[in-house]
Structure 1
Amino acid sequence: MNNSILFTHKELIEKSKLGDRKMQYKLYSLYVDAMFNVSIRIVKIKEDAEDIIQDSFTDAFRHLETFKYQSTFGSWLKRIVVNKSINYLKVKRIPLTAIEEHDYWISEPEEIEDNPLDISKIKDAINKLPHGYQTIINLYLIEGYDHNEIGDILEISVSTSKSQYHRAKKKLVELIS
């Protein structure tokens, strides 16, 4: 990764590590909206996402000394937000749709017509998916996690992540069509 990307906001981060509240607020201001969007896509409830964001920033600032510029600050913070959002769902016992390993078969990719789609139609269709499917779609397509990372985050196998994704994608295509 480009070093200039890794060191984005380095001065703000270093001063925040020293406890400078003004710099912490500037960092917060830079990232709060993006992190809220990450959380709301997972938990779906505005107030819960707001609470998760506050907890995430509190933890991030409390453990800022562990941030070593091995990734961007945004990526590091996003991982905290995603984990807290997923843990919130686990506490509320909102399950992923569980399937058995042997239920999953990879098929050839489906041909999808190249029609321009209305983004609001796609968002509406995602919101109509079962919650577990929404979680997988959001983590894979929107947040950009791979199936290994999703497996770690959700404490499921990689094959379960893949099967959930393929089933969610198939259902999403049905809803959009």
Structure 2
Amino acid sequence: MKAQTDISISVINQAKNGDSVACGQLYHHFSKSMFSICMRMAGDRALAEDILHDAFITVFKNLPQLKQPEAVAGWIRRIVVNECIRQTSKQIKMYEWNSEAADIEDEKDTDWYKNISLARIHEAIKELPDGCRQVFVLYTMEGLTHKNISEAIGVSEGTSKSQYHRAKTLLKENIINYLKVANG
């Protein structure tokens, strides 16, 4: 199945041929959603802006090689995620954290977050330690497996799992504490 996009194929083809107006339209169309990915991964606005900038340089440099213009959304997303991994991995230190606990899912308490706004959840994600945030975003929002994450960021699969488990634990604690304060 090919990724759907509502930007016209002709604009994509014009951008592939170096048309600067079409490149601008492509950037305008995708930059907001791609910036959201950068913010989730970086947790810092300035770094996210740098990542987005570098990712779009890569997009425009490699655009002539895009074989399926209708798949441009997924193609750009992959470039952005890879650039996020590349730039944030330089700054993030991963620590093994109770790898046995990472394989245990707490199934009895899965609805704790359902009355929390997405904005609050996103804020809590931004507050996670860098390594936890990176793995959490790649796993939950980008759909990578722990094996793919471990290969992409150069850690063991167990470290990826434990960072994900730690992220979930910290998110839950953060949001529960927020609710306690908000509800007096």
Match of 2:99 among 103, 124, 136: 103
Which structure ranks higher in relative contact order (CA pairs < 8 Å, sequence separation ≥ 6)?
Answer: 2
Q: What is the TM-score with the length of structure 2 in the denominator?
A: 0.79
Which amino acid in structure 1 is aligned with residue 100 of structure 2?
Y
Aligned to 1:59: 58
Aligned to 1:130: 129
1:7–1:72 Cα contact (<8 Å) kept:
no
Which amino acid in structure 1 is aligned with residue 158 of structure 2?
S
Q: Which runs of 5+ in 2 are unaligned?
A: 177-184
The CA deviation string for residues 111-142 of structure 1, in whole angstroms up to 9 with x for no partner, is 22535223343233323322211111111222
The CA deviation string for residues 42-84 of structure 1, in whole angstroms up to 9 with x for no partner, is 1122222212212111111111122222982122111211222
Report how many residues are paired: 173
Seen in structure 2, the aligned counterparts of structure 1 residues 157 and 36 have a Cα distance that, compared at 3 Å, is same
Q: What is the TM-score with the length of structure 1 in the denominator?
A: 0.82
SS in 1 for 2:31: helix
Aligned to 1:148: 147
Aligned to 1:11: 10
Seen in structure 2, the aligned counterparts of structure 1 residues 47 and 65 have a Cα distance that, compared at 3 Å, is same
Seen in structure 2, the aligned counterparts of structure 1 residues 168 and 113 have a Cα distance that, compared at 3 Å, is closer
Q: Which runs of 5+ in 1 are unaligned?
A: none
Seen in structure 2, the aligned counterparts of structure 1 residues 72 and 148 have a Cα distance that, compared at 3 Å, is farther
2:121–2:175 Cα contact (<8 Å) kept:
yes
- CA-CA distance at 1:172 after TM superposition: 1.9
Distance in 2 between the 1:22 and 1:141 partners? 35
Match of 1:94 among 92, 95, 98: 92
Q: Structure 1 stretch 10-19 or stretch 158-167: which is displaced more?
A: 158-167
Calculate the aligned-residue CA RMSD, in Å. Answer: 2.6
